[in-house]
Structure 1
C-alpha cells in the first residue's frame, strides 16, 4: 500500500507549533483495489495558523469544495457511495471507516470540525475569546493518539441513549487512532474500529471510538479491545486517564464514564456508529432539529442543504487569505502534575 503526501505536509509544525507560512496541503491516498478505488482529498488553508481566523477547508481530487462533516462518506466502500455501505461489506469484520484527523498525536491545539460554519472547515476551538489548547497532564504530552471524527455521524442532543441515560454532545462521533504514524491535520485515513469508551462530559454522552489506521503495521493483529490489551499493554488505561484528567488544569472536575470506565467491544462500537449515522441522516434530511448545526453540503443525496460549487467557492474565497503563523504562548508547553 502506498501513501502519498504531496505539497508541504507540516508534521513538525503541527506537533511543535513552530512558526511557518501556511500552504495548500494535498493529501492523496492510494489503497489496495480490494478495499476501495483511489480517493483524493485536498485541504486548503485560510487565515493565519494559531489565530482565531485559521481554517482548513476540504476539496475533492478535482478541486470541488466539500464539507468534511457531510460529504466524506462514513463507510469505506469500493464505490465510495455517499449514503450507505456497499452490499459487498455485509459483516462488521469487513467494515472500514473514514476518519477525518483533526489533531495529530503529541500536539496541543484543540482543533475540530466547525459544525456551525458553512462547509464545516477545521478550526481551533475558542473559549472566552481565547484559543484552546489541551494541557500536558504528566505523563501525557498533548493528545496521545491521532484524534478526529467519523464523517456523516452526529450525536443528537435530543436523543437519550438507553445505556448512558444522557443526550448526545451535538458533534460528530470522536475517534482515537492508536496506530504508530503521526498524521497531519485534515488527513483522511481508513480505520478499523476496535471498541468504544463512553465518556460523560458535563451531562452529555461523548463516545470515544478506539480504532487503528488500516495501514498501520499492527492493524492485521488488532481486531478487538482484547487485542489492544495484549499487544499494547497500558494503552487503554492511559486513554481513560487522559480523558478523566485533561480538563482538570482548567479548573473543572474529572470526567466520568458509563460502564464504570470499561471499554465496550467492537460490535457495540459499530452499533453506536450506525446509530449516530442514522441521526446524521435525519439531520441532513430535515427530520431532526438541527439547531445551530450547519448542514450545507455539496453531494448528499436527499439533502435539502445542497449548494452549488459557485456558492461553495464563494464561501472559501471570502475567508482570509493564508498568512504567517502567530506565535504560541510558552504556557502551552507547561507540565501539570495531578
Structure 2
C-alpha cells in the first residue's frame, strides 16, 4: 500500500524519506491509520530506524507531510553509539501514526509531560525493517522512560507476520519466549546516551514493563491527544510545540489539503539502498559501566 520516496543523500541534513500511496504524498504522522484492524487490535507502525543501525531517523513532525529525516542536535547529525554488547538499535524502532504525546499534559502515573512526538515502538520480530516501512504489529507492553523531565513511552510490539507472533500476546510471553530481551531493552535505554557524557536515564515504575492492557490505555490517550490536535482543538503551534498538521485523509480536520500533493522525485526501495560505512566515533564500540 505504501512506498518510500527518497530525497537528498543519506547522512546529510537534506536527506528525507517521504511516504506515498497511490501516487500521492501522505503524512506518516496523520494519514496512515492507527489501526490496521481495530477489531483484532492490530496497529500500523512506521519503521524509522532498522535494527542494528545507528542513524537516528525520525518523523519530521514540524515539516509539511512529515517525511523521515535524520535528527540534528547542535548542528550535527545524531547517531546512537554502539554500547557493548549492543550494535545500534536492538529492535526495529519507529512510531505509531495518529498518536501524539501531548507536551501540555502531565501523566498522573509518571508525573511528567509528553515529549511532543508520536508514541515510540520497539518491534521485536526477526525481520530487519527499513526506514519508511509500514508494519502491522501486536502491542505486548510498554516501558516509561523519563527523558529530561518528559514521559517517553516505549511500546513493545511484534510484527503480526513474525513466526512467533501467534504465541506472543502479552508482556509475560516476551519474557518466556525471548528471555532477557526486556532486561536488555531497559539496560539499552538506560545507557545509550552515556557515551556522549550524559547520565544514565531514569524510568517510571522502577523500570518495569507494564502489560498489554496498560499499553493500550496509553495508546488510546495519545490517540485522543492527536485527534484534538488534528481537529484544531489544540493549537498546532505553541510555545511547547510546533507541529505541521497538513493531511489528506482526516475529514474533520481544518488542515486537510484539498488538492493532491506530489513530490517530483524518483522512488526507490530504501531497504535495497544499503547505507555506506559510518566511521569514527559514530561506529566504534563503547564499554559502559552501569548496572543492569
TM-score for both structures, normalised by structure 2: 0.92
* Pair 1:69-2:29 in alignment: yes
* Pair 1:106-2:66 in alignment: no
CA deviation map 1:193-252 (0-9, x unaligned): 000001100000000000000000000011111111111110000000000010111111
Q: Distance in 2 between matches of 1:178 and 1:325?
A: 22
CA contact (8 A) 1:229 1:236 kept: yes
Q: Distance in 1 between matches of 2:250 and 2:55?
A: 30
- Superposed, which structure 2 residues align to 1:319-338 within 5 Å? 328-338=278-288
Q: Distance in 1 between matches of 2:259 and 2:167?
A: 43
Q: Distance in 2 between matches of 1:41 and 1:324?
A: 19
Q: Distance in 2 between matches of 1:289 and 1:267?
A: 30
* Pair 1:157-2:118 in alignment: no
Deviation at 1:290, TM superposition (A): 2.2
Indicate the residue corresponding to 1:29 in structure 2: none
Q: Distance in 2 between matches of 1:303 and 1:317?
A: 26
Q: Distance in 2 between matches of 1:255 and 1:300?
A: 37
* Pair 1:213-2:163 in alignment: no
Q: Distance in 2 between matches of 1:182 and 1:254?
A: 28
Indicate the residue corresponding to 1:5 in structure 2: none
Deviation at 1:306, TM superposition (A): 1.2
CA contact (8 A) 1:103 1:110 kept: yes
Deviation at 1:333, TM superposition (A): 1.4
Correspondent of 2:244 among 277, 290, 294: 294
Q: Distance in 1 between matches of 2:275 and 2:84?
A: 28
Indicate the residue corresponding to 1:41 in structure 2: 2
How large is the RMSD of aligned CA atoms in angstroms? 2.0
CA contact (8 A) 2:31 2:249 kept: yes
CA deviation map 1:303-322 (0-9, x unaligned): 11111444x22xx3499xxx
CA contact (8 A) 1:50 1:326 kept: no
* Pair 1:279-2:225 in alignment: yes
CA contact (8 A) 1:50 1:327 kept: no
CA contact (8 A) 2:127 2:162 kept: yes
Q: Structure 1: where are the runs of 5+ without partners?
A: 1-39, 78-84
Indicate the residue corresponding to 2:209 in structure 1: 263
Correspondent of 2:15 among 54, 79, 88: 54
Deviation at 1:56, TM superposition (A): 0.4
Correspondent of 2:82 among 91, 112, 136: 136
CA deviation map 1:276-331 (0-9, x unaligned): 00000000011113221110111112011111444x22xx3499xxx998873332
Q: Distance in 2 between matches of 1:327 and 1:120?
A: 27
Q: Structure 2: where are the runs of 5+ without partners?
A: 267-272
The secondary structure found in structure 2 opposite 1:264 is coil
Indicate the residue corresponding to 1:118 in structure 2: 64
Correspondent of 1:183 among 129, 145, 163: 129
Indicate the residue corresponding to 1:9 in structure 2: none
TM-score for both structures, normalised by structure 1: 0.80
